């Protein structure tokens, strides 16, 4: 069971290992630039948020953003490239590997790459700053990262399955993914929003990922509402990804 999924995951990890240093260098550049621009550049103007120093307030969000973005990128571009260029998906289909093996394999690959790249950003941020966390909080934090990466991996799998032009994957990121991430309170508290739209913002899966992950990492708390949103979102996204991929393969 799931042997095919782990075979696909192993192949993707082997490909990543060949270019791991260049990938980590590229993936850490963007969040570190944001950290230096906002965390360092604004710390003289924003002392703290809710008693938390501002550079420490934004650090969990930047680490989480790296992880889920990497999960989306890996799933979407890998699926598109294997389907449209290398035709690897067609080769998978003449083997005993099932549709669910392929989807689950891509989701696991997206999660692992997201976790590795998120840890790289975390290591650099905590190396550059004097802030330290309670390492017992990491287990709760990783729960949010795992569920968030699964959701973004499923979204990437859907995009890589249904989108034929590669430039449209970038447009989906620019129009949907990036706004959803930045609306989730990476750089400011959710209380900054007007009271009328706060319930809508808090219902977003990205808010559950980013706000929940921040609370878990800094305070060691698990918000049951956020966890339920993420579990429901992950189950729904997986069902849609499997259905979409299965239908595409049947065409």
DSSP 108-166: HHHHHHHHHHHHHHHHHHHHHSS----GGGHHHHHHHHHHHHHHHHHHHHHHHHH--SH
Structure confidence at residue 212 (pLDDT): 92
pLDDT of residue 130: 67
pLDDT at residue number 29: 83
Check residue 166 and give its pLDDT: 85
| Predicted local confidence at residue 123, as pLDDT | 82
Exposed/middle/buried for residue 1 (C-beta within 10 Å: 0-12, 13-18, 19+) = exposed
Q: Among 170, 159, 3, 8, which residue's Cα sits nearest to residue 84?
A: 159
Q: Which residues of the chain have pLDDT under 70?
A: 1, 43, 93, 130-131
Measured between alpha carbons, how far is 8 from 10 in angstroms, rounded to an integer?
A: 5
pLDDT at 16: 81
pLDDT of residue 1: 56
pLDDT at position 153 is 87
pTM for this one? 0.84
Backbone angles phi, psi at 52, to 5 degrees: -105, 125
**Residue 237's pLDDT is what?**
92
pLDDT of 224 reads 93
Would you state the pLDDT for residue 206?
A: 92
**CB contact set of 19 (below 8 Å; sequence gap of 6+):** none
pLDDT confidence of residue 131: 65
In this prediction, residue 116 carries a pLDDT of 85
- Cα 9 off chain centre by: 17
């Amino acid at each position: 069971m799931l042997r095919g999924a782990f075979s696909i995951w192993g192949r993707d990890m082997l490909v990543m290992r060949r270019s791991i240093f260049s990938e980590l260098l590229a993936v850490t550049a963007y969040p570190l630039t944001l950290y230096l621009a906002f965390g360092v550049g604004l710390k003289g103007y924003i002392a703290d948020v809710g008693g938390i120093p501002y550079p420490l307030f934004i650090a969990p969000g930047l680490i989480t953003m790296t992880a889920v973005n990497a999960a989306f990128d890996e799933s979407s571009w890998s699926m598109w490239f294997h389907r449209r260029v290398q035709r690897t998906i067609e080769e998978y289909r003449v083997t005993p590997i099932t549709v669910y093996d392929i989807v689950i394999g891509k989701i696991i690959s997206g999660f692992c790459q997201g976790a590795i790249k998120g840890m790289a950003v975390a290591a650099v941020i905590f190396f550059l700053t004097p802030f330290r966390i309670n390492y017992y909080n990491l287990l709760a934090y990783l729960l949010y990262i795992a569920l968030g990466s699964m959701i973004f991996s499923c979204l990437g799998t859907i995009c890589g399955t249904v989108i034929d032009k590669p430039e449209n994957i970038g447009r989906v990121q620019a129009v949907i993914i990036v706004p959803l991430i930045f609306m989730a309170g990476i750089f400011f508290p959710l209380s900054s929003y007007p009271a009328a739209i706060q319930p809508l913002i808090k219902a977003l899966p990205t808010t559950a990922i980013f706000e929940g992950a921040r609370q878990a990492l800094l305070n060691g708390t698990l918000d049951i509402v956020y966890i339920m949103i993420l579990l429901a979102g992950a189950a729904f996204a997986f069902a849609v990804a499997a259905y979409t991929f299965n239908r595409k393969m049947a065409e």
